[in-house]
Amino acid sequence: MKTIWILNHYASMNGGRHYKYAENLIKRGYSVKVFRASTVHNTNQNLITDSSKKYTYREANNIPFVIVRARNYVGNGKQRLLNMVDYAQGLLSVTKYFDDEKPDIIYSSSVHPLTWLAGYRLAKRYNAKFIAETRDLWPETLVAMGRVSKNSIPAKILYKIERFIYKKADKLIFTFPGGKDYVESIGLDTSKVRYINNGIDLEEFNHNKVTYILEDRQLDDSGIFKVLFTGAIGKANALYRIVDVARIFIDKGITDIKFYIYGDGPEKDNLQNYVLDNNIKNVIFKGRVDKKYIPYILSKGDLNVLCLEHLPNLFKYGLSPNKMFDYFASGRPIVSNVECGYDMLEKYRCGITVKGGSAEALAEGILKFYNMPKEEYNIYCKNAFEAARDFDFKILTDKLEKVLLED
């Protein structure tokens, strides 16, 4: 069977997209290695503290991980850019220690394009098939969020790298359904484009739901309509919208709808302080919990909320947030403020996407489920379960394997 090297700067060693692909491909007889950076994103942790070591090797659930040394960083400034450079340069040197296991396939996944460039060079070195995966459009996402100007020098460099990689890759994988539309919009050949979204390990999710129980009186309160959010609390998640909705409900005298927010991130303290200072009692920050508890937590809710900044020109290509697949698997409906192309909530009829991105629109969407007859609500729940089946990682690995074996 073929030897596959997966390059992902931020690959997790306890779950996630490339962990699951590696796990499933190894079971199918492939030889797989995952190359990741030594830094752990959004923490101060570095898996290599000895600066003289270029890499270290670990196995997680029989999955080989090659950990490439990269410097620590905080935020999104110069040090993070240098961290990306460390990883990309490190890949080119560290992989030489594994020359006796030459890869047949280099599967190089963004977020940042330096991983692609390293992957391209490695594919040339080993005469391997080169698969480039896009999980976020860089610099298109940065431009849409106003972080860089489309005509700035950094943006022009990133666009140039993007076009180069899209031309040189043997296959292009996009995690959002409109990848082909995007490639066509920049005037390139779409015949190499394949779509494989993010997903969920349903067997693991259902096991964790009944195994890892979190005692919480608020979750057990059947008199409260519980709206749940899980994940990062950053600017991109626009959780201030949820706080605004909570205030609308307070003003309307609705006391039996509460928002439970699980997670951490740079905006948590600001939001939490605002909620406390303004006596917004229907928003409760639960903090970060181990991911194994998420299935149980979601099973106790009534409605899941997906919230992002209002960027319709970016999201016209579709969505792939990891939390959406947890939400599907929970068998609870989703309300979203993210207007997007290829809307999966609409496709599977497992939720509602409100228009305009306003707090008032999101409040109306939540109230629709709050007031919904039980029979109709149960249909949404059933449809969410059905959606999850299409995104089980075993199904997604079938799709990936097909791409790996294509000429």
In a shared domain, residues 174 and 311: no
Mean pLDDT of the chain: 96
Name the maximum alpha-carbon separation found in the chain: 69
132-148 tens-digit pLDDT: 999 999 899 888 888 88
Question: What's the CATH number where 83 sits?
Answer: 3.40.50.2000
Please indicate, yes or no, whether residues 146 and 226 belong to a single structural domain of this protein: no
pLDDT tier at 41, thresholds 50, 70, 90: confident
Residues 15 and 109 in one domain: yes
Give Cα 45 to chain centroid, integer Å: 21
Same domain, 123 and 183: yes
Query: What pLDDT shows up at residue 152?
Result: 94
Same domain, yes or no: 188 and 212: no
The pair of three-digit structure tokens given for residue 224, joined into one six-digit string: 């409260």
182 and 225 assigned to the same domain: no
Q: What's the mean pLDDT in 307-312?
A: 90
Two structure tokens written together for 269:
């303290």
Q: Judge if 363 and 250 occupy the same domain.
A: yes
- Expressed as residue numbers, the domain containing 346 is 202-390
Decide: 158 and 138 in contact? Cβ < 8 Å. yes
Give the tokens for residue 74.
């905080």
Question: What is the per-residue pLDDT for 357?
Answer: 82
206 & 165 share domain: no
341-368 pLDDT tens trace = 999 999 999 999 999 889 999 999 999 9
Shared domain for 232 and 378, answered yes or no, is yes
What pLDDT sits at residue 1?
A: 86
Domain count, the chain: 2
Range of weakest confidence among 18-22, 152-156, 355-359? 355-359
- Per-residue pLDDT at 356: 83
The answer on 185 and 256 residing in a single domain is no
Per DSSP (E only), the strands in 61-192 are: 63-68, 105-109, 129-134, 171-174
Alpha-carbon gap, residue 32 to 23, rounded angstroms: 9
Residues 128 and 264 grouped into a single domain: no
The per-residue pLDDT for range 200-234, each reduced to its tens digit, is 999 999 999 999 999 999 999 999 999 999 999 98
Query: What are the angstrom distances between the C-alpha of 127 and each of 102, 108, 120, 402?
Result: 9, 15, 10, 20
Same domain, 33 and 180: yes
* CB 229 within 8 Å of CB 262: yes
Q: CA angle at residue 131 from 54 to 11, to 5 degrees?
A: 45
